[in-house]
Amino acid sequence: MGHSQVVSSPQEKTWRAGRFWWDCPEPTDAGAFPLRAVIFDLDALSDLDVDGHRVVFNAAFAAHGLPLEWSVARYRQLLALHDERQRVAAELRKRCVGPECDVLTEVLADEICATKDMMFDEMILDAGLAPRPGLLDLVMDAFAAEVPVGVVSSGRRRWVEPLVRQLVGEGLVETVVTGDDVTSSRHGAAHQHALAELGVSAHEALGVAGSSAGLRAANAAGLASVLVGADMGAALPAVAVRPDYTGTDDALRLATCRRLHASWWAQHSPTAA
């Protein structure tokens, strides 16, 4: 995987201009805004929605005797609905006909979601989740440079912590903040908890989000943030929007993260964090 940070063609530079805040004519000195930590949300490590939640929902449909299985394409469509119950209800309504449809849909949607929640903790560690392409290179870069890495999730520690180890290995993540650690429902609370545990301020860390919801949470905590993954249409301020961590000339390695972070704060006062 290449380390070069040079945009190789005018066409590539034009494409990035629409997606990157840091694409300015002059380079920014990363030393002026040092990067002291990287905080991922769990969705940034792996495609948890498609390869995790979708798989468990299909098992829940089968448990209820429903001849229903979400494909990757269909599930990505349903992700436009931000609530799991809404996704299930929308699918059931699409297949339900008759005067009692609405009542049956509401009741069955609740039952399916309850079944899925019970099955999730047992199934997720055996779902065969894989790290997003290029993720491990970035984590290893950070570890070698002694830049601590944190991971945040709204899930339960009993499965989040082993899943993080499964995806990135032992000893590479400094702190894992889960739903068990955060009592506040305030957006960004998990990221703020991670910042406190890592001993850095918001403008010293880069957030890496795997969904628009994760990006909103990182932004609410005051982090400059990269959005990685399939959720490419989020109309939210991001340092960069990328399909994954790889790239011929611009792989998301630590050097790139430092430059993105510095360029963001060169244009946005750190006092706003």
- Residue 41's domain is classified under what CATH number? 3.40.50.1000
pLDDT, tens only, 47-98? 999 999 999 999 999 999 999 999 999 998 998 887 899 999 999 988 875 5
β-strand 37-41 against 224-228: which pairing, if any?
Answer: unpaired
Q: Mean pLDDT of all residues in the chain? A: 85
pLDDT value of residue 247: 81
One domain for residues 115 and 185: no
Residue 4 has pLDDT above 80, yes or no: no
Residue 209 domain-assigned (yes or no): yes
- Cα angle: 234, vertex 166, 221; to 5 degrees: 35
Residue 259 domain-assigned (yes or no): yes
pLDDT value of residue 95: 81
pLDDT value of residue 149: 98
As a whole-number percent, the residues of the chain with pLDDT over 70 amount to 83
The DSSP annotation for 101-164 comes to HHHHHHHHHHHHHHHHHHHHHHHGGGS---PPTTHHHHHHHHHHTT--EEEE-SS-HHHHHHHH
Both structure tokens of 36:
């002291």
pLDDT-based confidence at 266, cuts 50/70/90?
very high
pLDDT value of residue 144: 97
Residue 135 has pLDDT above 50, yes or no: yes
Residue 21 domain-assigned (yes or no): no
Residue 201 domain-assigned (yes or no): yes
Sheet containing strand 240-242, edge to edge, reads: 175-177, 149-152, 37-41, 205-209, 224-228, 240-242
One domain for residues 115 and 71: yes
Residue 11 domain-assigned (yes or no): no
Residue 95 domain-assigned (yes or no): yes
pLDDT-based confidence at 15, cuts 50/70/90?
very low
Which sign, positive or negative, has the C-alpha torsion 231, 237, 243, 246?
negative
Number of domains observed in the structure of the chain: 2
Residues paired with 176 in a beta bridge: 151
pLDDT value of residue 257: 96
For residues 141 and 64, the answer to whether their CB atoms sit within 8 Å is no
pLDDT, tens only, 158-217? 999 999 999 999 999 999 999 999 988 788 999 999 999 999 999 999 999 998 889 999
One domain for residues 41 and 70: no
pLDDT higher for 235 or 1? 235
pLDDT value of residue 74: 95
Helix H, strand E, coil C: the string for 193-204 is HHHHHHCCCHHH
Least confident of 46-55, 98-107, 162-171, 239-248: 98-107
pLDDT-based confidence at 271, cuts 50/70/90?
low
One domain for residues 103 and 163: no
Name the burial class of residue 106, with classes exposed (0-12), middle (13-18) and buried (19+) by CB atoms within 10 angstroms of its CB: middle
Residues 6+ apart with CB under 8 A from 238: 21, 209, 215, 225, 226, 227
pLDDT value of residue 22: 39
Residue 270 has pLDDT above 80, yes or no: no
User: Of 66, 99, 126, which one is at a domain's C-terminal end?
Assistant: 126
pLDDT value of residue 85: 93
Q: How far apart are CA 58 and CA 63, in angstroms?
A: 9
One domain for residues 256 and 135: yes
The residue-averaged pLDDT of 113-119 equals: 95
Residue 251 has pLDDT above 70, yes or no: yes
One domain for residues 142 and 118: no
User: Of 78, 109, 126, which one is at a domain's C-terminal end?
Assistant: 126
